[in-house]
Amino acid sequence: MKTILLADDDDDLRAELGWCLRIAGYAVLMARDGLQALDALRTEAISVLVLDLKMPGVSGLDVIGEMRTDPKLSRIPTVVLTGYAADAPRDLAALKKPVNPDQLLAVIRGILGDGVRKRTGPFPIKNYAQETPPPATDAEEPIASGPAPER
């Protein structure tokens, strides 16, 4: 199984992208800053690094600089995530935030030469955004019921 290292200081984005990558059949490691990313890069077998450029402390640009000086790390394909396309190094794949998970998967599959992935995890591959949500249980109250109040 190919391993993706996802390094971003945004907890919600890490969780969302990590979930999408897992259901696509990848093993996912997460780092919340550049130091954690460098540690994982040095100790784990990483297939692709997905890296936010703007993180506090050791930034994504710092990680890229360190990777370029290490022959082992310099071979790891990297996809950068940034709010400002002009910040991205021209020799790396880059996606502008907010990141579309389908775009990220397409870029990773292109880098790895993967076609359509077969499911290896416990989650079915579905587009959950288009499904009708399940009905509320007794423990859950619906967000809205009945007609909107008049003003």
Structure token digits, residue 61: 């640009």
pLDDT tens-digit profile of 54-76? 998 999 999 999 999 999 999 99
pTM of the model: 0.75
- Cα within 13 Å of Cα(27), Cβ side: 8
- CATH class for the domain made up of 3-130: alpha beta
Instruction: With CA atoms as reference, report the closest residue to 80 among 95, 59, 61, 68.
Output: 95
Q: What does the alpha-carbon distance between residue 42 and residue 10 come to, in Å, rounded to a whole number?
A: 22
Q: For the chain, which residues make up each domain, given as ranges?
A: 3-130
pLDDT tens-digit profile of 23-34? 999 999 999 999
The pLDDT value recorded for residue 101 is: 94
Structure token digits, residue 44: 């784990």
pLDDT interval class at 130 (50, 70, 90): very low
Sheet containing 48-52: give its strands across.
27-31, 3-7, 48-52, 78-82, 93-96
The pLDDT value recorded for residue 132 is: 43
